[in-house]
Amino acid sequence: MARLKRRLPWLITDKLTIGSVSLTEESAAIVAVADLDTLDATVAELNTLADVTAGTVAASKAVVVNASKNIGTFGTVTAASFVGNVDGNLVGQHRHEVEELTETDVITITSGVVLLNNVTTPIEATLAAPTAGDELYIINSSATGTAAHTVTCAEGVTFDGMNDEATLDVLGEALHLIAISATRWFILENIGEVGLDTSGE
């Protein structure tokens, strides 16, 4: 009986070669464990991971932090919002969170802009303890002739080392504050004649 001889399309060596593609033991293991039916990434997307240097930004490549969790040399980064600390130059719009109070309530932000807006009824607002570095603008945005609005610091916190209550009774009066500790606001600007006093006295 004649034997049928047929040349196989692969070579048997330390790696399997099919055409010009070599499949090593390592890559075979990767293929073996991969669930290709659920793999959504394209070849081009997977290639963004190739030759990536951790901690360095490269064009059209994925970004991977280095051992110190740092990344350097970004170009332009655009974000709708940002929380954290930034070193370097910032270019663009700088926006503050805005909170408007129309009645007696607790001010929920410690960085941003607070508007006190009620024409007829005094607002007695309470300001939470800050974190060092917080920056706050408190503005009387009510119409002229309103009763005096007051802002009282949390217990143990002061505006200037002594007074813990501010009174804003004229449209446009404002305090520009920055926190230098968890118990002390520093008054950068007193716009108009915002009254300062000690609550309970």
Return the domain boundaries, the chain: 10-39, 98-197
Is a pLDDT exceeding 90 seen at residue 21?
A: no
Superfamily of domain 98-197: gp9 (2.60.120.640)
At 137-159, the pLDDT tens digits run 999 998 766 668 999 999 999 99
CB 139 within 8 A of CB 113: yes
Is a pLDDT exceeding 90 seen at residue 191?
A: yes
The predicted model gives 9-29 an average pLDDT of 55
Strand pairing partners for 176?
A: 137, 189
Counting residues of the chain whose pLDDT is more than 70, the rounded percentage is 70
Q: Please give the mean pLDDT across all residues of the chain.
A: 80
At 105-132, the pLDDT tens digits run 999 998 999 999 998 899 999 999 999 9
Is a pLDDT exceeding 90 seen at residue 56?
A: no
CB 162 within 8 A of CB 136: no
pLDDT of residue 164: 96
**Gap between the Cα atoms of 148 and 121, Å rounded:** 8
Among 23-32, 47-56, 175-184, name the most confident range.
175-184
